[in-house]
Structure formats: structure tokens, C-alpha cells
Structure 1
């Protein structure tokens, strides 16, 4: 689709974040399986649930605008997922605590991509007068930011110290 105005950009970016979330959910589940710390596993599994809730919200919004959620592939998240697998799962890290620290790093990089994407979508929806969309997307943004804060708390609360 040719992007002619903010509405076109909005739809394109909704589809982009839908794709990003689809990719992030899959690798986050894999990261949860590799995590050693029980609280980290729990947080990552909660992250998968949150990402999937965001995907559902995005699909609902995209379909309400008469578009297909799967019409875009997010190459930015593709790169982050590749890095998460390479460093968080495949890297030869012999210490379980160090692997957990790396898993947090990779998760947070993906979360920050989501925070940026959802933040832009909220701003676009507000500018376009799409109050219901903006409210739903703000909830997605808040949930993504909460997941990021949870990872920071786990890292600073002991995982980084154990990895040192």
C-alpha cells in the first residue's frame, strides 16, 4: 500500500507492531524455557501472555479499519529476534545466572522496540481522533513498559549480582 497520509502510516505501523509482537511472543517463550531463575521464568511467561493480548488488541483495531493484520512483516523485530536467539539461547554461556542476565538483556531490547512502536501508535491515534484506538493502544504501551520494568527489577534485584 502506498502511504499517502497519517492514516496510511497508522495502519502500516499497526500491522508492523502486530508482526513484531507475533515474532516476540515466540522467542520470549523460548527464552522462558532457557531461563534458570524461577521469577525470571514466571516474568517471561507473563510477558508471552501480555504480548499475545497486545496482538489480539492490534488485530481487533486493524480489522475494524478494514485491513488485514498480517499484511506487514517487521524486519526490525526479525533482527532483534535473531539476536535474542543467538545471544540468549545459542551462545555458549556456561553460567546459568549469566545466561539469565543475557536473557533479560535480549527481552528488554525487544520490549523497547515495542514501547517505541506503541508510543507512536498512541500519538497517531490521538492526532487522527481515534479515541477508542488510542485508549486500547495506551493499555498495550503500559503493559509493555510494565514488562520492561519487571525485567529491570529482576536484574537489579539479584540476577546481575549472581552473574557477576
Structure 2
């Protein structure tokens, strides 16, 4: 697709978010399987649910603009997911608490990428006067921030303390 207007760029960014979410969904499921902390496992389950909901919302926005949700492959998230595999999913970390700390670090990297994507798309939607889209994207952004904050609470409350012991 040739990008000629801000709306073209906006739709391209939505497709990128959809691809990023799809990749992070699979990675989050794998992180869940490696986690040992029950609180962390629960948070990752919530992350899977949240990412899935975000994907559905973004898919609807893309289709509302007569575009294909799978029209873009997010190379940025592809790289982050490779890091997730290297530093958590396939990592040789013997201590379970250190592994949980690494899982949180990797999950938050994916989350921060999502925050950047949703924030940018939200700014574009507002500039384009797409109030309905902006409302949906604000919800996605808020949910992503909430998930990130929850992971920080788990890390600073339980996991990092145990990993340092």
C-alpha cells in the first residue's frame, strides 16, 4: 500500500499494531508456561486475554477502514519476540525466581512497544477526527498501561525480592 496521507499512515500503523499483538500473544503464552510465581502466571493469563481483546478491537478498526488486518508484518515486535525467546523462553536460567524476573522484563519490553503503537495511533485518530477510533484506542492504551503497571507491582513486590535472595 502506498502511503500518501495521514489516514493511510494511520491504517498502516493499525495493521502494524495488529501484527505486533499477534506476535506478542504467542510469546506471552510461552512466557506463561515458563513462569513459576502464581501471581505472575495469573498476570500473564490476564495479558493473554487483554492482548486478544486488543487484537479484536484493532481488527474492527482496520476493517472499518476497508483494509486487511494482516496487511503488515511488524518487524519491530519480531525482534522483541526474538529477545523474549533468547532471554526467557529458551534461556538457561537455573533459579526459578531469576527466571520470573526475566519473564517480567521481557513482557514489559513487549508492553512498552504496544504502548508506543497505541499512543501513536491514538494521536493520529484524534488529528483525523476519528472520535470512535480514538475512544477504542484510548481503551486499548489504558489497558496496556494497566498491565504494565501490574507487572511492575509483581516485580517490585515479590519477584525481584525473591530473585535477589
- Asked whether the two chains share a fold, i.e. TM above 0.5, the reply is yes
Residues 84-137 of structure 1 show CA distances to partners (whole Å, capped at 9, x for unaligned) of: 011111111000000000000000000000000000011000000000000000
Runs ≥4 in structure 1, deviation > 4 angstroms? none
Corresponding residue for 2:120? Answer: 120
Shift of 1:5: 1.3
Count of aligned residue pairs for this structure pair: 164
* 1:68 corresponds to 2:102: no
In 2: Cα distance, 1:158 partner to 1:45 partner: 18
Residues 31-79 of structure 1 show CA distances to partners (whole Å, capped at 9, x for unaligned) of: 0010000000000010000000000000000001000000000000000
* 1:25 corresponds to 2:25: yes
In 1: Cα distance, 2:66 partner to 2:89 partner: 38
Shift of 1:2: 1.1
In 1: Cα distance, 2:45 partner to 2:85 partner: 16
* 1:42 corresponds to 2:38: no
Shift of 1:9: 0.5
- Give the alignment's Cα RMSD to 1 decimal: 0.5
Give 3-state SS (helix, strand or coil) of 2:3's partner: coil
- 5 Å-filtered alignment, 1:13-162, equals 13-162=13-162
Gaps in structure 2 of 5+ consecutive residues = none
TM-score, L = length of structure 1: 0.99
In 2: Cα distance, 1:48 partner to 1:158 partner: 21
Shift of 1:147: 0.5
Gaps in structure 1 of 5+ consecutive residues = none
Give 3-state SS (helix, strand or coil) of 1:77's partner: helix
In 2: Cα distance, 1:72 partner to 1:44 partner: 26
In 1: Cα distance, 2:96 partner to 2:89 partner: 11
